[in-house]
Amino acid sequence: MSKFEKLYKPDEVCKILGISYVTFRRWIREGKLKAIKTPSGRWRVPEGEIKRLLGVEEIPRETRCVIYARVSSHKQKQQGDLERQVEALKKYALERNWRIVDVIKDVGSGLKEDRRGLRHLIELVKKHRVDVVLVTFRDRLTRFGLKYLEWFFEHFGVSIISITDEKKSPIEELVEDLIEIIVSFAGRIYGMRSHKVKRLKDVVERELSDVKKR
């Protein structure tokens, strides 16, 4: 066994080989499976031993998926938009037999850099706990700077997948971006919970709605 060979826990070995823990222990006793014991008395199996039993060069690995959903306001959350995103994303993942390791929900502007959920997602990526980040639209992650986020995730071998190909018109995207920018800057001035921000947002949405209709 190589000094740097990866060691697998019993539950990981059972899942990869498709056996029960009873069979795992029996194979060790019979010499069919070569395992080692750590100083604390725990069984560990070298990667090469699993490859030998599978007859493969690489061990098949499940796809670990993190679901990320976001809405811009608590009103959208109350209307069920957030949960609809989550349910659609779960369905997509389960149809592909991906293991959902976490479901992250954010409520806030896509321009907000310190979203709790986004920070948590980045930590999961950094710790190599995810293979795929699943979103409804790519702008659920961020309104601007998505290319930088994609580059960062790719560095850790993580893909971003959006489940819908629906594209908004340039006018719709421009209007949404303008609203996000105005609300973001107004929030910094007055505070996001200020009634002034809400009134300003209502006015901007009302005025820009006419632009969408043209």
Comparing 5 with 95, the larger pLDDT belongs to: 95
Give the pTM: 0.60
Cα gap 109→163, rounded to integer Å = 21
Beta pairing, strands 43-46 & 36-37: antiparallel
What pLDDT score does 205 carry? 63
- Give yes or no for residue 84 having a pLDDT over 60: yes
- Give yes or no for residue 29 having a pLDDT over 90: yes
132 pairs with which residues across the strands? Answer: 65, 159
Q: Examine the residue annotation and report whether 72 is marked as an active-site residue of this protein.
A: yes
The pair of three-digit structure tokens given for residue 163, joined into one six-digit string: 């489940």
Q: What is the pLDDT of residues 39-56, one digit of tens each?
A: 888 999 998 999 999 888
Cα gap 141→70, rounded to integer Å = 8
Out of 40, 72, 159, 194, the active site residue is 72
**Class at the top of the CATH hierarchy for domain 170-213:** mainly alpha
Q: Does the domain formed by 7-54 have CATH 1.10.1660.10?
A: yes
Domain assignments of the chain as residue spans, ordered by start: 7-54, 64-162, 170-213
Name the one residue in this structure whose structure tokens are 């997602």. 121
Q: Does the domain formed by 64-162 have CATH 3.40.50.1390?
A: yes
What are the two backbone dihedrals, phi and then psi, of residue 71, each rounded to the nearest 5 degrees? -125, 160
What pLDDT score does 136 carry? 93
The conformation of residue 140, written as its DSSP 8-state character, comes to: G
Q: What's the maximum distance between 2 C-alpha atoms anywhere in the chain?
A: 77
DSSP letters of 12-64? HHHHHHT--HHHHHHHHHHTSS--EE-TTS-EEEEHHHHHHHHT-SS---PPE
What pLDDT score does 164 carry? 82
Q: What is the pLDDT of residues 109-129, one digit of tens each?
A: 776 777 899 999 999 999 888
Beta pairing, strands 132-135 & 64-71: parallel
What pLDDT score does 113 carry? 74
pLDDT class for 172, splitting at 50, 70, 90?
low
Average pLDDT (102-109) is: 90
